[in-house]
Amino acid sequence: MSGPTSRRGFKFSDVYILDTALSGCLDSQLEILEGAGSTPETVFGVEAAPDGADSDWDVLAIKSKDIEVQEVKSGSVTASDRKSFWIRLRKTISETSGSDQKVLPRLVINSDSKPTSYNAWKNFAEQLPEYKEGTAPDSTPKRVDSSSKMLQEALFWMCTAEVLNPDIKKPTEIAAPKVPVKEAIQVLEQFDLIEVHGRELTENFGRKLRALFEGIRPEDVHDKLCGWVARKAEDYKNENKFFSARTLVAEAEIFKKFISRPTSVSRLAQYIVNECEDLINQYFGSKIDSQGISEVPLEITQPATSDLDPTQELGVLILGEAGSGKSVILSQLCERITDDFEVYRFRATDLGHWNSREFKEDFHGAVRFLADIQLLKNRKSFFVVDEFDQAPRWLKDGIMYSVNNLVTRDDLRFIISSRLVDWARAPYENPLSEFSIQPWDEGIVDSILESKGIERRLSDSLRSLIRIPFYLLTST
């Protein structure tokens, strides 16, 4: 990449490797959240093209249980690109000789800018052409416009060509031993074509940079990472071309805040994920569903919610009187949350055992931690807080601190329920859309009374009272 630290804008290959490496941080974060033991880290490797002055990194290798060798391109895939890819495969096969690791070749393309040879690559991935010759070809085809010719070219560079090491310090050294035809075909049978929408990738990557590196311009983070990766790609020592996500943290020095979290933050995040959902389910099973409130559709009990889409708002604050069905409405609104969101639901009162002096920072850190994990999965997060009004002041202060400081993240939403009188008594600065619960329509009340066999005329004051669902359903 020419002048990567001075360049602005996102290049497909840059974004792809950085997004892939960034997602490599996910494993370590999930280990913290799940309390699991340490697993082997994924290792990434970048290699610059060996010929010409262009120093773009050319091949990405991903080492975990097996080794993926990826050629990453947007637009055309030239003969030089293909040559680099086949030679990298040849070297990787040699390096893994005698091990149980599989070598998995991949071509990653920008589906917004497909190469002219797209159909040949697609056919090559779907079904490797049959190769009937007993020996490898002694030359490359003049024109590679079909999967069969692509196979001939691959076998020439992997099995026949005398390939010298591009390292100027060892110009006469063979880059890697020739691969037997049968072994080369076994590797090429694992080939896959990966299509990535470049525009979507760039948008997701930019979102991650803005969220994970709060207060730092995404362009500056991008440039620093690109410069670091370029130095890896151009290093003449092969072992220096490889790095883990943790290496990126240590050497690029920008992920430290993301990786290093206080133990108390991790414990609170674990509690929200592993304990709070069970507590919510127990509560609904024993107290709410037994009243039958959730059996009445939200569109009927609260017609004003018919157009309310919680995912399109910064968040929603549900306000209502005691017994008005706040918890049920909150639950029914959760059913409108789309699948691209991970929902974290809890009652504010279930966090009341936390250290009051540490809660504000711990809760803020836990929300960011959980949201960042989903962000690395290219997912969004929804935090659903019930019984806000019943929590002590210090706990409410901590929750609203996070709401006001994180709600501008476009990958994060909140729904909070509170009694109207409690909110009015001590209101907070609130960026969320407010929704006030209305008493049930008299038609709903009449139909429920009729279904229970109650036909006598009720006083106006009693009818007014039982328009609040708790009183209606418990009295019948």
Alpha carbon distances (Å) from 11 to 1, 4, 17, 106, 111 = 10, 10, 10, 19, 14
Write the DSSP assignment of 74-92 as a string of letters.
SS---HHHHHHHHHHHHHH
What pLDDT does residue 228 have?
A: 78
- For residue 355 the two structure tokens come to 């250290």
Three-state secondary structure of 328-388: HHHHHHHCCCCCCEEEEEEEHHHHCCCCCCCHHHHHHHHHHHHHHHHHHCCCEEEEEEECH
Q: Tell me if residue 412 falls in helix, strand or coil.
A: strand
Q: Which residues partner with 48 through β-bridges?
A: 57
What pLDDT does residue 150 have?
A: 94
Nearest to 267, CA basis, from 340, 153, 358: 358
Spatial distance between the Cα atoms of 420 and 320, rounded to a whole number of angstroms: 5
Alpha carbon distances (Å) from 238 to 224, 234, 246 = 22, 10, 19
Q: Tell me if residue 445 falls in helix, strand or coil.
A: helix
What pLDDT does residue 135 have?
A: 84
Strand order in the sheet with 192-196: 192-196, 103-110, 67-73, 57-63, 43-48, 242-244
Nearest to 364, CA basis, from 317, 325, 398: 398
Q: Are 412 and 383 in contact (CB under 8 A)?
A: yes
Q: CA Rg, the chain, in Å?
A: 30
Q: Which residues partner with 343 through β-bridges?
A: 382
What domains does the chain contain, in order, with CATH numbers?
Answer: 12-259 (no CATH), 263-438 (3.40.50.300)
Residues contacting residue 296 through CB under 8 Å, at least 6 positions apart: 444, 469
Nearest to 213, CA basis, from 247, 266, 252, 254: 254
pTM of this structure: 0.70
| In 166-292, alpha helices (H) | 181-188, 198-212, 218-234, 245-252, 256-259, 263-271, 277-283
Nearest to 107, CA basis, from 49, 42, 191, 18: 191
Residues contacting residue 245 through CB under 8 Å, at least 6 positions apart: 21, 22, 24, 25, 27, 28, 41, 42, 255
| Tens digit of each residue's pLDDT, the chain (476 residues) | 333 322 334 578 878 888 887 777 776 677 777 765 556 677 887 776 554 433 344 567 777 678 888 888 888 888 888 888 898 899 889 888 888 889 999 999 999 999 888 999 999 999 998 887 778 899 999 899 899 999 999 999 999 998 766 554 454 455 688 999 999 999 999 999 999 999 999 888 888 877 777 667 777 777 777 777 778 777 777 777 777 776 776 665 555 555 567 788 989 999 998 888 777 777 655 444 444 444 666 666 665 677 778 887 788 898 888 766 777 788 888 888 888 999 999 999 999 998 888 999 999 999 998 998 888 888 899 999 999 999 999 999 999 999 999 988 889 999 999 988 889 887 888 888 888 877 666 566 656 555 555 555 655 554 544 545 544 444 44
Length reported for the chain: 476
Q: Are 341 and 413 in contact (CB under 8 A)?
A: yes
Strands 57-63 and 67-73: antiparallel
